[in-house]
């Protein structure tokens, strides 16, 4: 399959280049199916498909994609390890995990490795399109099942907001907007800040709440906020 061949796409605005996507999936039939699916989305084009984590680490930096869709279960090097390695090379690369199993034991290691989103493979094409656009605008897309497991995990572990945690008024504003699903750019626009300033606030929020990603920060906020 020549996945680099031009693809006609209805709805693509004239002169606007589609976002570049690389898929990492070890099963050939699934890989080919997902390549077709990605190329059917107006704003996206699959520029590469890797069968192993080793191939992904070697190939993706040269392709410079906008986003990577990563199967969590790969032979030898797991998808989680692959994410960690790619993030060490390309910290700003957006990576969304794909899995057929909604196992909460895998969610947190993937997020901690640097994954920016986590979707089930049964996600509908329209929802995949929305998730890809979301992650590219600074969001952290997750299927409702995965998001619910993130929240449930915090509840099960009894993690509540420490009374010693003191967020600034601005950090509180950022966290509230984050919990409502706004991207970094949208938060910046609403608060009259630069995107870099929003990222700085998020870094401080993560440190104070002892979390490592947007999903954990939102889950912590949802659990701790007054009813």
Which of 115-119, 124-128, 142-146, 152-156 bottoms out in mean pLDDT, i.e. has the lowest? 152-156
- The answer to whether residue 136 scores a pLDDT higher than 70 is yes
pLDDT in tens, 35-82: 999 999 999 999 999 999 999 999 999 999 999 999 998 988 999 999
Range 19-43 burial, b when 16+ CB lie within 10 A, else e: bbbbbbbbeeeebeebbebbbebeb
d(CA 44, CA 12): 9
pLDDT in tens, 90-118: 988 999 999 876 655 677 788 778 888 88
Domains delineated in the chain: 19-151 (3.40.50.2300), 159-224 (1.10.10.10)
Radius of gyration, alpha carbons of the chain: 18
Instruction: Report the predicted TM-score, pTM, of the whole model to 2 decimal places.
Output: 0.65
The answer to whether residues 87 and 93 touch, using CB atoms and an 8 Å cutoff, is: yes
Name which of 78, 76, 142 is nearest 107 in CA terms. 142
């Amino acid at each position: 399959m020549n996945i680099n061949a031009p693809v006609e796409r209805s709805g693509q605005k004239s002169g606007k280049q589609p976002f570049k996507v690389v898929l990492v999936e070890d099963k050939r039939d699934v890989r080919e199916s997902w390549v077709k699916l990605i190329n059917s989305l107006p704003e996206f084009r699959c520029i590469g498909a890797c069968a192993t984590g080793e191939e992904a680490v070697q190939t993706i930096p040269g392709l410079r994609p906008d986003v990577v869709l990563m199967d969590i279960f790969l032979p030898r090097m797991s998808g989680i390890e692959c994410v960690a390695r790619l993030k060490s090379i390309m910290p700003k690369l957006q990576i969304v995990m794909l899995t057929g199993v909604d196992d909460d034991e895998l969610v947190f290691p993937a997020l901690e490795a640097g994954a920016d989103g986590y979707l089930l493979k049964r996600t509908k094409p329209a929802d995949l399109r929305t998730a890809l656009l979301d992650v590219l605008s600074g969001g952290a897309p997750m299927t409702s099942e995965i998001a619910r497991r993130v929240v449930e995990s915090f509840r099960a572990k009894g993690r509540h907001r420490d009374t010693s945690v003191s967020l600034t008024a601005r950090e509180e504003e950022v966290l509230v907007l984050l919990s409502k699903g706004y991207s970094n750019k949208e938060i910046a626009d609403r608060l009259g800040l630069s995107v870099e300033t929003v990222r700085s606030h998020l870094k401080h929020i993560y440190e104070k709440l002892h979390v490592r990603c947007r999903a954990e920060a939102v889950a912590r906020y949802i659990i701790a906020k007054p009813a």
